[in-house]
Amino acid sequence: MDRVEDGDAVSDSVAAVEGFGPGVLADSERRAAIHRLHHAIVDHTIGVAKDVWARALPGLRAAWEQHVERYPHPAQVASRTQADGSWVCDGNRKLTPEQNAELDRGIGRIQEVGRQVIIPGMRAIEAEDTSRCLAGFKHCFKGEDRLKEKVADRMRSKGRPPTEALAGIPDAVRFTFQYTEIAYTAAMRKDIQRLEARGFIQVERRNTWSDDQYKGVNSRWRDPESRVIFEVQFHTQASREAKQLTHEAYERIRSSVSDEERGVLKEFQRRVNSLIPIPPDVTDIDDYPPGEA
């Protein structure tokens, strides 16, 4: 499906079709009419794409269930703290009693900063524009066992001590702003400005709307006093649904699956993301820091 993204191109084409001369854009009334027509075309295009996505979603979910049946994975052993205070998960991820206690203190501190500083700031930003919301807010803290799994992996692969490994996990506290497609680009820019006005420091921003495996904008921010890092994602309803649908595929790709399954998983993610309605002008959102891939 073709997307209308260039307002000038639409204006020129409309003028040509209707036989207007090259001076048509000097006429303010005609400019306004063409502007309204452009927005009507964009609204219609987005509306059609959203209908296509809504119709496709049940089939995509069924396709994922079929994939799980075709490529069954062993159930993960539940993580647990043992009687001596150590922590284990899957047999390969382990923390000594001292490491586990250190992480409990670190996670507690992050969550305290989240409750006392970051969440009030995010809620205040949310209240400034009722046309969008913080979606999935009840999951703003990553689960403690999941954090420990990531820390254990970083300790083993990068040789980092527990507290340092924990500090490097960007989404221990995480939020998602969800917008309509039409408002997405402009509203996201305003929310970035609001985050900065609250004193949060932007560390990183990645726009992956042109990617075929994941669509959205992910950013990382720092509370300047505590230096706690948190994540803010920017999504539409459809891109967030796609992220949720492909999350397990993403996790499997990162694990030790066969080359055959990895190829199937990437094709599944391509299929899902090809159907997401694309917000107008979204590629104008730059990465931060500028020039970094």
What is the predicted pLDDT for the residue at 14? 44
Q: What is the pLDDT of residues 209-232, one digit of tens each?
A: 999 999 999 999 999 999 999 999
Percent residues over pLDDT 70 in the chain: 89
Q: What is the pLDDT of residues 90-141, one digit of tens each?
A: 868 999 999 999 999 999 999 999 999 999 999 999 999 999 999 999 999 9
Q: Are residues 176 and 92 in the same domain?
A: yes
DSSP characters for 102-141? HHHHHHHHHHHHIIIIIHHHHHHHHHT-TTSEETTGGG-B
Measure the CA–CA gap between 261 and 283, rounded to whole angstroms: 31
Would residue 67 count as lying in a domain? no
Would residue 289 count as lying in a domain? no
Would residue 292 count as lying in a domain? no
Q: Are residues 167 and 250 in the same domain?
A: yes
Q: Are residues 16 and 108 in the same domain?
A: no
What is the predicted pLDDT for the residue at 28? 81
Would residue 4 count as lying in a domain? no
Q: Are residues 22 and 133 in the same domain?
A: no
Average confidence score pLDDT of the chain: 90
What is the predicted pLDDT for the residue at 116? 98
Question: Which structural domain, as residue segments, surrounds residue 42?
Answer: 9-62
Name the more confident of 92 and 2. 92
CA atoms within 13 A on the CB side of 277: 29
Measure the CA–CA gap between 150 and 11, rounded to whole angstroms: 51
Name the more confident of 78 and 88. 88
Q: Are residues 94 and 49 in the same domain?
A: no
Would residue 49 count as lying in a domain? yes
Q: What is the pLDDT of residues 41-59, one digit of tens each?
A: 888 899 999 999 999 999 9
Identify the helix (H) or strand (E) that includes residue 188. helix 184-197
What is the predicted pLDDT for the residue at 77? 77
Measure the CA–CA gap between 58 and 33, rounded to whole angstroms: 39
Q: Are residues 142 and 199 in the same domain?
A: yes
Q: What is the pLDDT of residues 19-29, one digit of tens each?
A: 444 555 557 88
What is the predicted pLDDT for the residue at 292? 57
pTM of the model: 0.86
Domain total in the chain: 2
Q: Are residues 161 and 184 in the same domain?
A: yes
